[in-house]
Copies of this chain bind each other. A is one copy, B any other.
Amino acid sequence: MKLLPLALAAVFAAIMPLAAQPARAPALSPNEIVAAASPGDWTAIATDDLLVMTLAPDRDGNRRQVTIQLMPPPFSQGWVGNIRKLAAAHWWDGLAITRVQDNYVVQWGDPDAEDKAKAKTLPAGLRVMGDEEYTTKGLGMALPMDAVEIDRDPYAETTFLESGWPVASIKESGWPVHCYGMVGVGRGYSPDAGSGAELYTVIGHAPRHLDRNIALVGRVVEGIEHLSSLPRGTGPLSFYEKPEQRVPIVSIRLASELPEAEQPRFEYLSTESDSFARYADARANRRDPFFIAPAGGADICNIPVPVRRIAAK
């Protein structure tokens, strides 16, 4: 991904209003840049890479569905494979959201996982992963880092992969980053690296200290408000204290397993596109009318990759 060097960005800012709008039109906001992107700048997400979690309706009877995009290679594929098996086995059906910690995570899985007598049996053939797989070596992480917007990350070097995912790297090693909405694999103490049966998503400020310490396997692309607005747990680590506080999971399915008319379809703004480069630049340097002092930078989690729903086939 090549973010625009600032000089080029300035050219865009100068040219675009003349080409597309009356002279002296205000600069576009990041959302306006995304809305104006051409259809060719968007890339479809395969339904085989989408996980649809249906929760029990809320107390007013409203439907609650959360859609997660699974992470592509080269990261976390052992866990992603396990998650595909767990979904195919309908393993999560009837389990629950068990933990909601403010400014941190929402977690779901088997409430009885710690109790050998009551824990739900996992499907056969799950892979056992090691923590060395939290990072990927030899990724060719000499990725373009010419964007002043994200070149002062406190944790590592950061950029976007061609596949549209935010990543960090140090030297030869690369890993996905814990931004809002990212989905990861709960685990106990090392060397337990988790199977993928216990999952969580981030609902607060990016807990980047979890990078390289937990496997990230995807991101929520729709419906995160059904998780982030849940009542916070009051037990240790903000687990729900009483079983009736847990939110029942009706089902988790790969979208490709649903009847075709029910398969949600999404696309993301290609991180290789000029539109994305302009969007990222505008996130770092807001010139739309509300703003007085453009920031002159942005951290990678403050440049969320735009994803939108498209009509069903």
Contact = CB atoms under 8 A, between A and B. Distances in A.
B181 A103 contact: yes
A302 B299 CA distance: 13
Given A225-B102, A225-B232, A230-B229, A283 B209 contact: yes
B206 A205 contact: yes
Contacts of A230: 229
Interface string A139-163: 0000000000111111110000000
A229 B298 CA distance: 27
A131 interface: yes
B208 A299 contact: yes
Contacts of A302: 205-209
A190 B291 CA distance: 8
Contact of A291 (B150, B208, B213, B290): B213
A2 B189 CA distance: 33
B154 A292 contact: no
A293 B131 CA distance: 10
Contacts of A211: 293, 295
Contacts of A181: 103
A253 B105 CA distance: 32
Interface in A92-125: 100, 102-103
A154 B213 contact: no
A180 interface: yes
A178 to B, nearest CB: 10
A195 interface: no
A194 to B, nearest CB: 12
B296 A155 contact: yes
Nearest to A286: B209
A200 interface: no
Contact of A297 (B155, B180, B290, B295): B155
A228 B290 contact: no
Given A231-B229, A292-B213, A103 B207 contact: no
A104 to B, nearest CB: 10
A225 B100 CA distance: 10
Interface string A195-216: 0000000001111110111000
- Across the A-B interface, the 3 shortest Cβ-Cβ residue pairs: A212-B293, A154-B297, A225-B232
Given A149-B154, A189-B289, A299-B299, 5 more contacts: A153-B154, A205-B302, A208-B302, A209-B284, A211-B295
